[in-house]
Amino acid sequence: MGTHFILVTIAIMALASTLVSASDPSPLQDFCVAINNSDVFVNGKVCKDPKLATADDFFFSSLLTPQSTSNPVGSKVTPVNVMQILGLNTLGISLARIDFAPYGLNPPHTHPRATEVIVVLEGTLYVGFVTSNTDNRLFTKVLYPGDVFVFPQGLIHFQFNNGKTNAVALAALSSQNPGTITVANAVFGSNPRISDDVLAKAFQVDKKVDFCVAINNSDVFVNGKVCNDPKLATADDFFFSGLLTPQNTSNPVGSMVTPVNVMQILGLNTLGISLARIDFAPYGLNPPHTHPRATEIIVVLEGTLYVGFVTSNTDNRLFTKVLYPGDVFVFPQGLIHFQFNNGKTNAVALAALSSQNPGTITVANAVFGSNPMISDDVLAKAFQVDKKVVDHLQAQFWYPNN
């Protein structure tokens, strides 16, 4: 009996590990800024010398600028992937803005290399995805501003503006280059054409597991979360509401992070992506911190932010930028970074992270507020200060803003 339980547990862990690993390759250095004109072909893009990197390699502007939707489908996608931000190379995440005219459609399509998470900024969208053969279940939801929905990797999905006004959504995708296959274009508009004999016999795709909706109360421990029976999944397992709701920033750091990860959307389990909203009071700070399991890409919605990250030893180079509404910036996985509202008004940003559960290590909280405390002898030597300074810092209350 004991042996059977161990074998079942190992099998579950192996399955979970396989599902979680379905993403872009992990970076082997702090970043790998792409070179577009290299004659060398690799899976991704060749890197330029890290010493030549600048903050602009991690920056994109004007994502909040409305785009023209005067086309047959009444929608326009503005991508922010490795072609627009060279610093996204190897970091496994990207963004996109989607503009919709009244009754505009982002037609049924797939992203072969990415899960997509969208948040509606304006208007109303009717969205859905279809599972793979043989069930072909349709999951649909009507989304309003602040609502979030997940489209698992590789599944056919769509977004339709079912209102009389324009609609806008921001999408995060779990690949630097997610790819897009619009079903009608690929099947009926390929170059050269697919034989009509082939199309007459239909088009089928097979995939073993489409998603793995988490169970929070399981007694089995795996890397991630145990899956619920897929037949019991509903559209609400991929849904979150209220992300555009302002949050209270009355705290010592003047900021508040609202996460939307696998704890809030159980359907994100194994899909390698999540979102967060960050509210800032005037001069509020999201203190220096790291995400051990994720790259972060943010877009400013309101206000102005001074942001930056520091590379690892021994260079410890600081990359900084002042961001305005519509500006985008990338913080590579595991690097210490911060966001500071250097204006006299509130600021708001949306962040996408390349993990269902990115984790956060706030430097001051971890070093000076650990439980139990790190020895002041250790910290005095590490920071090269008197032990009284360490004792004073350890006596402070380190506020967790997320």
109 among annotated binding-site residues: yes
Do both 196 and 262 map to the same domain? no
pLDDT value of position 314: 85
Q: Using the structure block, give the residue that is written with the tokens 């007459």.
A: 200
291 among annotated binding-site residues: no
Do both 171 and 280 map to the same domain? no
Q: Which of 146, 175, 176 is nearest to 245 (CA)?
A: 146
Do both 31 and 159 map to the same domain? yes
Of 217, 240, 263, the domain-final residue? 240
Question: In sequence order, which residues have a C-beta less than 8 Å from that of residue 35 and are 6 or more positions away?
Answer: 45, 46, 47, 48, 86
Position 249 in a domain: no
157 among annotated binding-site residues: yes
Position 115 in a domain: yes
289 among annotated binding-site residues: no
Is the pLDDT confidence value at 275 over 90? yes
Can you read off the two tokens belonging to residue 84?
A: 């627009």
Do both 62 and 194 map to the same domain? yes
pLDDT (mean) for 325-348: 97
Instruction: Answer yes or no: pTM beyond 0.95.
Output: no
Bond into 182 cis (ω within 30): no
pLDDT value of position 7: 42
pLDDT digits (tens, 9 = 90+) for 276-324: 999 999 999 999 999 999 999 999 999 999 999 999 998 999 999 999 9
Classify residue 216 by burial, with Cβ atoms within 10 Å: 0-12, 13-18, 19+: exposed
Do both 276 and 322 map to the same domain? yes
Do both 210 and 281 map to the same domain? no
Q: Using the structure block, give the residue that is written with the tokens 């890409």.
A: 297
Of 240, 269, 292, the domain-final residue? 240
Of 210, 240, 270, the domain-final residue? 240
Quote the domain boundaries for residue 370.
364-402
Do both 116 and 87 map to the same domain? yes
Position 127 in a domain: yes
Do both 295 and 376 map to the same domain? no
| Higher per-residue pLDDT: 197 or 148 | 148
Do both 184 and 122 map to the same domain? yes
CATH code, 321: 2.60.120.10
Do both 156 and 282 map to the same domain? no
CA distance 343 to 193: 56
Q: Which of 62, 89, 90 is nearest to 78 (CA)?
A: 62
pLDDT value of position 23: 54
Residue 11 host element (H or E):
helix 2-20
Domain count, the chain: 3
Position 247 in a domain: no
